[in-house]
A and B are shown apart, each in its own frame.
Chain A
Amino acid sequence: MTRARREARVRAPWPLAVPAALATVFLLFPLLALIIRAPWESLPDLLTDPSTRHALWLSVRTATIATAICMVFGVPLAWALSRASFPGRDLIHALVTIPLVLPPVVGGVSLLLVLGRRGIVGRHLDNWFGLTIPFTTDAVILAQIFVAMPFLVLSVEGALSAADQRFEEAAATLGASRVTTFRRVTLPMILPAIGAGAVLCWARALGEFGATITFAGNFPKTTQTMPLAVYLAMEVDPEKAIALSLVLLSVSIVVLVALRGRWWNSRQAQGIV
C-alpha cells in the first residue's frame, strides 16, 4: 500500500506547486519566527520564573486529568456509538462532534449556563453541597474535557468501526460476555487508536483557551494555564510570551512524533491491519 502510493507520486505542475509552496511557507514561517526571535539568553530565567512554572505545571496537570476523564467516559461512548443500538444514535453521533467546530468561547458560556453559580445544575450544587465550580481548577478541567473529548471519541470510534467484529463473535462463542469481550478482545485490539486519541485529546486540552478563560477565568496558580499565560504575557512582557510559546511549540512537536501519522492514517491507527 505504501509502495503503491509512493510509485504514484509525480512532479507537481506549477499551478499546483506554487500555491502548495505558499501554503507551506504560511504555515511554517510563523513557527520559524518563534525560534528566530526567541530570547535565547534570558530563556532559562524566563522558564524557571515561578509564574511560568505554575502555569506549566497547572497546564500539564489539568490536561492530564482531563484526558484521563475523557478516556473513562469517551471510550464507552465510542463503543456505544459503533456497537450498540439505541434510539437517536445517529443524532447523538452528530452532536458529540459539535465541540470540534464550536468556538470554544461559546463552549465556555454554555458551561457557565449549566454549572455556573446560577446555572441550571450549578445552582443546586451550590445550594445543597456548597460546591462552586466556575473560576476554579475544576472548571479548567471541565472546559478542557468539553473541547477535547470529541477528539478521543472520534479516534476510538473510527477504530472500532474499522475493526473486524468477527473477533468479538469468536470471543462470544468461547463464552465471553459483552463486557469480557470488550475488556479482553476489543480493547487490546484498538489500543493504538486509544493511545492516538488520548495524545490528541491531551494536546487539545493543553492548548485550550477560549472556554477556559470564559468558564474558569485567569487566576495565577489555579486557572491560569499556559495559553492564558502567553496571552497575558503578550501585553506586559512579549519576550516571556515568546518563551512560553516556544514551550508549547515543543510540546506540539513531541505530540506529532508520538502520533507518527496515526491520526490521519486510519489504517495505521487501528494497528491491526
Chain B
Amino acid sequence: MIIKSDGTGLVARIGIELGTLDLDAELAVQPGRTLAVLGPNGAGKSTLLRALAGLVPLRSGQIVLNGVVLDQPENRHFVSPEHRGTGYVFQDYLLFPHLNAIDNVAFGPRVRHRVRRGAARAAARQWLARLGLTEVAHLRPNALSGGQAQRVALARALAPDPGLLLLDEPLAALDAGTRLEVRAEIRALLPTLDVPVVLVTHDPVDALTLADDVAVLERGRVVQRGTPVEVITRPHTPYVARLAGLNLFPGTSSGGVVTLDTGSGGGGEGGGSGAPVTLLGPSDAPAGKVLVALRPSDVGVHIEEPLRAEGVLVLTGPVTSVEQLGDQVRVQISTAPVVRAEIPARRLAELRLVRGTTVWLTIDRKHVEVYSQTKPGL
C-alpha cells in the first residue's frame, strides 16, 4: 500500500522514545539541498537518521518522501528499509568485508533493481571512477585507506539511485588531512545530486561547509534552524555559541535597552553587586526576550577603570582563566555575566593578567548582535 501526500522532498516529524532518549524533531529538505543536523553526542542524531532509513520505527509523527508516506504510526503504516530507497553512509562505513570495492558498490543495484552481475558491476565501475577509486576497485575493505573506504561507502550508497541520502558523521573516522580532502570531494558532489541530503555531525565545520541549512539538535529537540551563516552569527543556545566561539547572554529588551540576565541560574559566581546590567541595543533591536551575541575579540580588556562613554558597557571582575590560542589569548572573566575575551598575546604581556587579576571590560553596542529568543519553526 502506498499512501500519498503533498509536497516534494523530505518532510518529517520524528517522534521516538528509546531508553533515555526522547526525540521529537521536525525536518524538511528539498531535493538538491543538504540539511546538516548538528548536535552534541547523545542528542539523538543517529537515531534520527536510523528512523529516516527505517531501521527504527517511529513512535509518533510521520516521514514523507516526495509525497510517499514512509512511516506513519498512527495509521500503522511502515515501509521497511529495503523498500525505502535511501542511501545510508554509516559512520564506520560497514563495507561488506567479504566483497571487494566494486562488489560492495554493485550490491545495491543488484539487489534493488535486480540487474545482472555484469550490469551492476558496470554501474559500480562508473561510480568508482567518478569518485577516483578505479585503482582500488578490486581491493577488499580491509586493504582500503580510511579515505578510500569512505568514498567506497558513498559510492555504495549512491549506486542504487536513492531518493534520499543520509550521511552519519561522514568525516568523523578520518584523520585530519584526509578529512579536508574528502570534505572537499563531498562538497563538490552534493550539489550534483538531485535528492534531499541529511547529514548528521557534531563538527561545526562539516555543517558550515557542506550544508545549505542547519538544524541544531539538543536532547532530542531542534533548538535552532537556519542557514549556516544565521546559525553561526546568531546562536540560540550555549552549545551553539560555544561552537561558534561567541559569548551569548540572554536578556530582556525594552525601549532599545537590553537588560542582561545576570545569571543566578548561569555562572553562579556573579559580581555580587546585584545591580542590573544594561546596555543600549542597536536601534533595530527587537523587544521582549532576546539573546545578545558578542565576539570575544570585540571585548576590550583594561587593568584600570576606563572612562565611561555613550553606548559602551563597562563590567568588572576577576580573571578566572587564561589560555593561549595561536597568537591570541582567551581570557575568562568572572563578571556578571561571565565573559570570554580574546586579546593578542602582546597585549597579555602588557596587562600581565593572571588568575585573580581584577579587570574592566568594555563592550561597545556596535559590536553586539541582539535578536529574539524565538522558538525555531520550519
Residues of A with Cβ closer than 8 Å to B? Answer: 164, 166-167, 169-177, 180, 184-185, 188-189, 191, 272
Is B271 interfacial (CB-CB < 8 Å)? no
- Residues of chain A with a CB closer than 8 A to B111's CB: 171, 174-177, 180, 184
Would A172 and B90 be within 8 Å (CB), given that A167-B96, A272-B97 are in contact? no
Interface residues of B in 138-156 (CB under 8 A from A): 156
Main DSSP-derived SS at the A contact region: helix
Annotate B107-120 by CB proximity to A: 1 below 8 A, 0 otherwise.
11001110000000
Pick the residue among A173, A185, A188 that contacts B53 (CB under 8 A): A173
Q: How far is the CA of A171 from the CA of B82 in the complex (A)?
A: 8
Q: B86 within 8 Å of A by Cβ?
A: yes
Least distance between B202 CB and chain A CB atoms (Å) = 20
The 5 closest A-B pairs by CB, nearest first: A175-B112, A172-B81, A174-B108, A173-B88, A188-B98
Chain B residues with Cβ under 8 A from A169's Cβ?
A: 53, 55, 81, 94
Question: A171 vs B83: C-alpha distance in the bound complex, in angstroms?
Answer: 12
Which chain B residues have a beta carbon within 8 Å of chain A's beta carbons? 53-55, 80-88, 90, 94, 96-98, 107-108, 111-113, 156-157, 160
The answer to whether B98 and A173 touch across the interface, beta carbons within 8 angstroms, is no
Q: Which of B83, B84, B87, B94 has the most CB of A within 10 A?
A: B94
Partner of A175, one of B55, B90, B108: B108
Question: Using Cβ atoms and an 8 Å threshold, which residues of chain B touch A188?
Answer: 96, 98
- With A174-B108, A175-B82 known, 16 other A-B pairs at CB within 8 A are A166-B90, A167-B94, A167-B96, A170-B88, A170-B94, A171-B107, A171-B111, A173-B55, A173-B88, A174-B156, A174-B157, A175-B108, A175-B160, A184-B107, A185-B96, A189-B97
Q: Which residues of A contact B86 (CB under 8 A)?
A: 173
CA of A171 to CA of B106, assembled, Å: 12
B80 touches A174 (CB 8 A): no
Are B107's CB and A173's CB within 8 A?
Answer: no
Q: B94–A166 contact, CB under 8 A?
A: yes
Contact partners of B96 in chain A: CB under 8 A: 167, 170-171, 185, 188-189
Closest to B87 in A: A173
Closest to A187 in B: B98
Report the separation of the CA atoms of residues A166 and B46 in the bound assembly, to the nearest whole angstrom. Answer: 13
Q: Can you list 11 A-B contacts with CB-CB less than 8 angstroms, sorted by A residue number?
A: A169-B53, A170-B96, A173-B81, A173-B82, A173-B84, A174-B108, A174-B160, A175-B113, A176-B107, A176-B112, A188-B96
Q: How far is the CA of A97 from the CA of B64 in the complex (A)?
A: 47
User: A231 CA to B373 CA in the complex, in Å?
Assistant: 89
Q: With both chains docked as a complex, state the minimum distance between the C-beta of B342 and any C-beta of chain A, in angstroms.
A: 43
Main secondary structure of the interface of B (DSSP, over half): mixed
The interface residues of chain A lying within 8 Å CB-to-CB of B113 are 175
| B-chain residues with CB within 8 Å of residue A185 when the two chains form the complex | 96
The interface centre, meaning the residue of B54, B108, B113, B156 with most chain A CB atoms within 10 A of its CB, is B108
* Closest beta carbon of chain B to A193's beta carbon, Å: 13
Provide the bound-state CA to CA distance between A174 and B109, in Å: 8
Q: Tell me which residues across on chain A come within 8 A of B53, comparing CB atoms.
A: 169, 173
State in angstroms the CA–CA spacing of A261 and B80 once bound together: 40
Residues of B within 8 A of A164 (CB): 94
Contact A189 B82 (CB under 8 A): no
Residues of A within 8 A of B90 (CB): 166, 170
Nearest chain B residue, comparing its CB with the CB of A169: B55
Of A166, A170, A174, A189, the contact of B112 (CB 8 Å cutoff): A174
Q: For B107, what are the chain A residues with a Cβ–Cβ distance below 8 Å?
A: 171, 174, 176, 184
User: Closest residue to B86 on the A side, CB-wise?
Assistant: A173
Docked Cα-Cα span, A175 to B83, in Å, equals 6
A172 CA to B83 CA, complexed, in Å: 8
Highest count of chain B CB atoms <10 Å: which of A170, A177, A184, A272: A170
Cα-based distance from A43 to B156 in the complex (angstroms)? 60
* CB-defined contacts of B112 to chain A, threshold 8 Å: 174-176
- How long is the Cα–Cα vector from A185 to B108 in the complex, in angstroms? 12
Residue of B nearest to A164 (CB): B94
Query: Is A175 touching B80 in the complex (CB atoms < 8 A)?
Result: no
Residues of A contacting B87 in the complex (Cβ-Cβ under 8 angstroms):
173
List of A residues within 8 angstroms of B108 by Cβ: 174-175
Chain A residue nearest to B55 (CB atoms) is A169
For A172, the chain B residues whose CB sits under 8 A away are 54-55, 80-82
Shortest A158–chain B CB gap in Å is 18
A171 to B86 Cα, complex, angstroms:
11
Minimum Cβ distance to chain B for residue A232 (Å)? 47
B49 to chain A, nearest CB (A): 10
* CB closest residue in chain B, given A178: B82
A189 to B95, CA, bound (A): 12
Chain A residues lying within 8 Å of B82, measured Cβ to Cβ, are 172-177
- Cross-interface CB contact of B98 among A176, A177, A180, A189, cutoff 8 Å: A189
Using Cβ atoms and an 8 Å threshold, which residues of chain A touch B94? Answer: 164, 166-167, 169-170
Chain A residue nearest to B103 (CB atoms) is: A184
In the bound assembly, the distance between CA atoms of A49 and B55 in angstroms comes to 62
Query: Chain A nearest CB: distance from B18 CB in Å?
Result: 15
Q: How far is the CA of A233 from the CA of B32 in the complex (A)?
A: 80
Bound complex: CA A156 to CA B90 (Å):
27
Q: How far is the CB of B362 from chain A (nearest CB, A)?
A: 54
Query: For the complex, what is the distance from the CA of A169 to the CA of B80, rounded to whole Å?
Result: 11
Please, which residue of chain B has its CB at the minimum distance from the CB of A174? B108
CB distance from B113 to the nearest CB of A (A): 8
B residues within 8 A CB of A171?
Answer: 96, 107, 111
Contacts of A177 in B (CB 8 A): 82, 111
Complex CA gap A164/B96 in Å reads: 11
| A173 proximity list for chain B (CB < 8 A) | 53-55, 81-82, 84, 86-88, 157
A189, B94: Cα distance in complex, Å: 13
Tell me which residues across on chain B come within 8 A of A176, comparing CB atoms.
Answer: 82, 107, 111-112
B48 to A: closest C-beta gap in Å: 15
